[in-house]
């Protein structure tokens, strides 16, 4: 199990390396949601469905956690992990579109989120309450971090102060 964990971690690190500096948004790229807004309607619907499923998953974890229902957390985390838009049965041209339209930093944030969901699943399987809490809060952070970078058209309260000033011009 440990080996599997490190192998996964290694794969994640490797993919980060190959993506290079993708996560460091260049100045002016902050809050640029044009990538998402440029998606075709069918892909955007899929993304929206994925998001709503993530939200209900996150909400359901709270009572499960508080009552020690580790099995439920495990299966919810597994579902969240698998709801990866990139892993859906997309046509070849949809896959191309995703890669062409979505910025690298978005894809990295998505991958990071699914990595955390995998870790939550693992923590729930091991019945480690503290670790479950840790990964749950990391996941919450990851929702906000991606929304602040790519979904401020949907969640304007997440605009950074500087961006609000830019918008006021």
36 binds ligand HEC (CB under 6 A): yes
**Which residues, at least 6 apart from 129, have a Cβ–Cβ distance to it below 8 Å?**
65, 68
Does residue 47 interact with ligand HEC by CB under 6 A?
yes
Q: CB–CB of 58/143 below 8 Å?
A: yes
Among 8, 12, 25, 58, binds ligand HEC (CB under 6 A): 58
CB 98 within 8 A of CB 76: no
CB of 35 to ligand HEC, least distance (A): 8
The span from the CA of 158 to the CA of 10, in Å, is: 32
Query: How far apart are the C-alpha atoms of 58 and 116, rounded to whole Å?
Result: 12
> What is the distance between the terminal CA atoms of the chain, rounded to a whole angstrom?
54
Q: Is 44 in the site for ligand HEC (CB under 6 A)?
A: yes
* Per-residue contact string for residues 90-119; x = within reach of ligand HEC by CB under 6 A: ----------------x--xx--x------
Question: Does position 151 bind ligand HEC by CB under 6 A?
Answer: yes
- Residues near 145 by beta carbon (within 8 Å), at least 6 away in sequence: 109
CB-wise, 7 or 45, nearer to ligand HEC? 45
34 scored as a contact of ligand HEC (CB under 6 A): no
Minimum CB distance to ligand HEC smaller for 52 or for 137: 52
Contacts to ligand HEC by CB under 6 A: 36, 44, 47-48, 51-52, 54-55, 58, 106, 109-110, 113, 139, 142-143, 146-147, 150-151, 154
């Amino acid at each position: 199990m440990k080996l599997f964990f490190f192998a996964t971690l290694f794969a994640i690190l490797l993919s980060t390396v190959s993506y290079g500096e993708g996560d460091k948004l260049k100045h002016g790229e902050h809050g640029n949601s044009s990538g998402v807004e440029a998606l075709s309607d069918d892909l955007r619907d899929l993304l929206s469905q994925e998001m709503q499923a993530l939200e209900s998953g996150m909400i359901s974890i709270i009572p499960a956690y508080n009552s020690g229902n580790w099995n439920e957390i495990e299966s919810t985390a597994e579902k969240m992990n698998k709801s990866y838009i990139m892993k859906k049965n997309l046509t070849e041209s949809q896959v191309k579109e995703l890669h062409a339209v979505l910025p690298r930093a978005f894809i990295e944030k998505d991958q990071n989120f699914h990595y955390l969901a995998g870790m939550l699943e693992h923590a729930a399987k091991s019945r480690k309450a503290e670790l479950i809490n840790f990964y749950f809060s990391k996941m919450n952070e990851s929702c906000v971090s991606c929304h602040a970078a790519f979904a401020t058209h949907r969640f304007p309260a997440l605009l950074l102060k500087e961006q609000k000033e830019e918008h006021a011009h």
